[in-house]
Amino acid sequence: MTASRHMTSYNATSALSSKQRQHEQTTDGGNVSAAAEASNQQLDARQTNADRDQAPEAYLDKSGSDRGSDHSRDAYPTRLSQPPEHLWQKRREPVVHSRADEGPLGAEQLKRFKSDGFLFEPEFLAPEDVEALKAELAALLDNEEWQGRDFTITEPKSREIRSIFAVHFLSERFRQLAEDPRLVDRARQILGGDVYLHQSRINYKPGFEGKGFNWHSDFETWHAEDGMPEMRAVSASIILTDNHHFNGPLMLIPGSHEVFVHCLGETPDDNHKSSLQTQKVGVPSREALSELIAKRGIEAPTGAAGGLLMFDCNTLHGSNANMSPDPRSNAFFVYNRVDNAMQAPFAAARPRPEFLAHRLDGGWDELED
């Protein structure tokens, strides 16, 4: 079963001028073609003197990105006070660190992940496992003990819960899922080393009420506000309800993980209190988004509950509002390499709370408050 049968795609051709169309690259639904390589070469051409070693110095004086830290060099400056000379810089780290014989993912799957920055596997979980997780999710959403807590995020203009963080501390079933060897081994294979759980949550987008979320790179936030030094993390999203075109599925920009897009605007204090509802800081410019979408388009994995979407920490993604009566929910786990542990934030006065960025010791004392 090919990924194209479970993917809604946006082809940028219809939205481009004739000048832009001549640069657009397309890929075959089941193969990673030379178009992806050509796309990456075009992204590299945008860099000129902002390559992997020179880019940091090109921005350090403008960024103010050492706010709250003592980093003398920031490899990925962001939250800039002035528009950067270049829209983005090339990433420094490899995307895939292991071979097919070193984990559960095959050669073609690793090749696709490296090219696109994500991989969708339908029918990852059995139907009975999905039903058990859905029942657990419903119990968590109905638990009055979690209402109004910092780790429970509601919709911007209602009391509907959209996310509950640190879910592996709140639920034994979700803890078991987070530690499932099938997930952990995939993360280890992609990242090439031991991993720990940087973040866990359940997301719920209610029918008609669930709002969208702006385009963003998770790494940009984790780097700026949590102190994640390098792109050595991967996210695993397990779909708990059927995803279709109209209930706000996650959308991703293939190939966007290969570049780091610099964002404007200083990080406000306690930014997480508003950004988890509506993200306004750490959002790529429309110019950068337009150019990246022109290269490879937009894709949105859809399919039955139980599918697994894994994506690179730097892949740009977002979602539309849920315009249907059908809710959308997923379990979300972020695996970070042990040697990529958090430092001081690169562009914030202090780190975000631990329910958003767990530390290597694996503890969390929020429930004792």
CATH number of the domain where residue 179 is located: 2.60.120.620
In the block, tokens 């979602």 appear at 319
Averaged pLDDT in 10-residue chunks for the chain of 369 residues: 43 38 37 44 42 36 39 84 92 97 98 98 97 95 85 75 91 97 98 96 87 90 94 98 92 98 81 51 89 96 96 95 92 97 92 88 65
Give the tokens for residue 283.
């959002």
Structural domain includes residue 368: no
Structural domain includes residue 364: no
CA distance 360 to 366: 16
Phi, psi (deg, nearest 5) at residue 16? -110, 155
Structural domain includes residue 183: yes
What's the predicted TM-score (pTM) here?
A: 0.81
Structural domain includes residue 369: no
Q: Name, in order, each residue with C-beta under 8 angstroms of 236's C-beta and a sequence gap of 6 or more.
A: 183, 186, 187, 308, 309, 310, 332, 333, 334, 335
- Residue 126, class by beta-carbon neighbours within 10 Å (0-12 exposed, 13-18 middle, 19+ buried)? exposed
What are residue 88's DSSP bridge partners? 261
Dump the DSSP string for 216-279. E-HHHHIIIII---SS-EEEEEEE-S-B-TTS--EEE-TTGGGEEEP-BSPPPTTTHHHHTTS-
Neighbours of 178 (CB within 10 A): 20
Structural domain includes residue 367: no
Neighbours of 283 (CB within 10 A): 19
Query: Can you point out the beta strands (E) in the chain?
Result: 7-10, 88-90, 118-121, 152-154, 161-165, 195-205, 213-216, 233-239, 250-252, 259-261, 298-301, 308-312, 317-319, 328-337
Give the tokens for residue 114.
């490296």
What are residue 298's DSSP bridge partners? 10
CB 96 within 8 A of CB 108: no
CA distance 156 to 153: 9
Q: 333: closest CA among 207, 193, 127, 178?
A: 178
- Give the per-residue pLDDT at 361: 77
Structural domain includes residue 185: yes
Q: State how far the alpha carbon of 92 is from the alpha carbons of 30, 229, 314, in Å.
A: 28, 11, 12
Structural domain includes residue 12: yes
Structural domain includes residue 169: yes
- Give the per-residue pLDDT at 21: 34
- Give the per-residue pLDDT at 259: 97
Give the tokens for residue 333.
């786990």
> Nearest-5° angle of CA 170, CA 140, CA 312?
70
- Give the per-residue pLDDT at 151: 85
Q: 152: closest CA among 144, 143, 161, 140?
A: 161
Number of domains forming the structure of the chain:
1
* Domain interval for residue 328: 3-359
